[in-house]
Structure 1
């Protein structure tokens, strides 16, 4: 294991992130955001940010996220973290769903293209 990510040992990072997040005014997501806290969709940008901050020190419920993706009829997923582990799991559990792990800034164009293709939104 690379670190104690998503555990109580990350609590000091939550405080730092919460301070930084308090200075932001996030917009509401244009496509459903599925929280890895509980697999629920979140429509409020403020709640997305709160959940992201809190998730640093809490377990990831990717199983519940994949259930939600299936229920929503998701056709594409973009993983926004450096590892690519979650997209690997999704490829096996959600056949036919296109996946992309956004590992570096070099992957941004591909992510934009995938999202545009599957949401009808311009890049």
Structure 2
């Protein structure tokens, strides 16, 4: 059973490429790039520990659409064709409350690989 609260509102802001999630009176904004590189799909997470695939060149990715999956998740359709990860309510809430930490870890991994992100692509 899910322990995370359910968002009271989810809004896709296509122009700014952000997904807004509202929990009580707190608004969280997750960029399309952040969601894409943290997709819970096997393409990103691999099929087991240590099999994660670092996602690069996702600075310009956008979101075409989101749709509910049952009462437990949403499916995000990214404009690079990726749509295989289901973002459960628990996973989305975790991304919201840990966004800064996860983003810094991601940037550290990019740096370790020698990849330089495009600024405000």
Q: TM-score, normalised by structure 1?
A: 0.23
Higher helix share: 1
Structure holding more strand per residue: 2
Please report the TM-score for the alignment, with normalisation by the length of structure 2.
0.23
